[in-house]
Structure 1
Amino acid sequence: MKPTIRVTIWNEYRHETTKPNVQELYPQGMHGAIAAGLIGDFAIRTATLEEPEHGLSEVVLAETDVLIWWGHVAHKEVSDAIVDRVASRVLQGMGLIALHSSHYAKVFRKLMGTSCSLLYRDEGEKERLWVTAPSHPIAEGIPPYFELAHEEMYGEFFDIPSPDEVVFTSWFEGGNVFRSGCCFHRGQGKIFYFRPGHELYPTYHDTNVLRVISNAVRWAAPVQREPLRFGKSVPALEPIRAMYK
């Protein structure tokens, strides 16, 4: 039997406490909606920006297999020390799922090494997400495409390193397209960026969106293996007959 995947859902939790229309959509916060909607045998905890250490202590991260991250207006308020802590855990094997505006999260940009900039427009237009990697486990149970009636538009060019795989590609009513489901590997960790999730729309109540995130949790969960080793002092596996000097 596979062990239960331990998931931490991190949310800056600002819009839900300051905007009545967002609070109405997500009375328990977007982190609460995601936690309630995940499909699978997960052990779920949540964390928010205002908690001590942003709720991401060394103990919490050590007990996290996959970290889901949602941020927007408070990226600069996230401590650099916590960013380094999270990035280190990803390199050690913890999965990271960055949602929507988390393309600008400090930790995502640190792990990507690029600006992660893009075009955007918020007019509540229709988004159609096409599955462009149909054999990928994150696409399991998802139809060839699904639609969100209203979303914020993100458009190319998206300044990220070339993804290992693009699982979803979006088309928007205004004509733009976007790589909306991108997979990356960093060290022993796996990262999935998933575009939908503007706070003004009920995206995290959508069945397909929640299934994608659930699938991504299973995909990003750590592989059980020895930690990576680096450095000079490595014993030889075979006898060394002579050394050139």
Structure 2
Amino acid sequence: MNVVVWNEYRHEKENPVVSEVYPNGIHSTIAEFLKEENFQVKTATLDEPQHGLTDELLDETDVLVWWGHKAHHEVSEDVAEKVKQRVLDGMGLIVLHSGHFSKVFKKLMGTGCDLKWREADEKERLWVVDPTHPITEGINQYIELEKEEMYGEHFDIPAPDELIFVSWFEGGEVFRSGATFKRGRGKIFYFRPGHETYPTYHNKEIQTVIKNGVKWAKNTNTPTPSYGNHQPLEKLD
């Protein structure tokens, strides 16, 4: 399986707290634990030509993992449209944390994708609400994170095809933290945890969920539908 991990890679260069947690970038941390599954993993970042997402790379990518935050507006419309089209054509997409506000996710959702948020070092408890789903394999009833950024409802997304996780935060809010969608031939998994100042992507349970999400999102050679005027299969009188 060919996996690409995309990251803005800005916070790690500008904020010493983030660079201490992710010295080689969030993308490198994610790529390293995905390699444990024998995936073929590459990375791409915002400041590379075409944001690192060339036509050739996208064409061979089975699943794209996306992390963005402070520079959503710097992603070109052309690249965002190319990624959207690849998802419609069958590429899997994992959108992490603040990637909910990325151009790619908003284009695919067709909504504003806004939410409440707060940075207050709060405990987060991610409850598994679909224990039969393959994305939850190897996870117990919940994942507890000592400190995370709060995201709260209302989350302005379409009704998910499947709701996998619901978070509770110490301040009282809840949030739909793990949700799947189908768009065209592609599968999308949004997974909430991962604020850049916390070591969330070093957490083994969070890593397990992302690994499972990548496996789930890969297209398994489903048929390509045909559209438009079509000749009959049977002889018409």
Percent identical across equivalent pairs?
A: 58
Does structure 1 residue 156 correspond to structure 2 residue 153? yes
| 1:240 CA displacement | 1.4
Could you tell me which residue of structure 2 aligns to residue 94 of structure 1? Answer: 91
Could you tell me which residue of structure 1 aligns to residue 141 of structure 2? Answer: 144
TM-score by length of 1: 0.95
Could you tell me which residue of structure 2 aligns to residue 228 of structure 1? Answer: 225
Mapped partners of 1:8, 1:229: distance in 2: 28
Could you tell me which residue of structure 2 aligns to residue 205 of structure 1? Answer: 202
TM-score by length of 2: 0.98
Mapped partners of 1:144, 1:182: distance in 2: 17
Cα contact 1:126–1:148 (8 A) shared by 2: yes
Does structure 1 residue 46 correspond to structure 2 residue 43? yes
| 1:67 CA displacement | 0.1
Does structure 1 residue 84 correspond to structure 2 residue 69? no
Mapped partners of 1:140, 1:225: distance in 2: 23
RMSD: 0.7
Q: Give per-residue Cα distances to partners, 1:127-166, cap 9 Å, x unaligned.
A: 0000000000000001111100000000001010000111
Match of 1:183 among 176, 180, 188: 180
Mapped partners of 2:61, 2:223: distance in 1: 17
| 1:41 CA displacement | 2.1
Could you tell me which residue of structure 2 aligns to residue 62 of structure 1? Answer: 59
Mapped partners of 2:223, 2:132: distance in 1: 28
Match of 1:237 among 220, 233, 237: 233
Q: How many residues get paired?
A: 236
Match of 1:121 among 118, 122, 125: 118
Instruction: Extract unaligned runs of 5+ from structure 2.
Output: none
Does structure 1 residue 131 correspond to structure 2 residue 124? no
Q: Of the two, which has the highest radius of gyration?
A: 1
Does structure 1 residue 30 correspond to structure 2 residue 13? no
Instruction: Extract unaligned runs of 5+ from structure 1.
Output: none
Match of 1:20 among 8, 16, 21: 16
Cα contact 1:8–1:44 (8 A) shared by 2: yes
Q: Give per-residue Cα distances to partners, 1:10-48, cap 9 Å, x unaligned.
A: 000000001111001001100011111224120000000
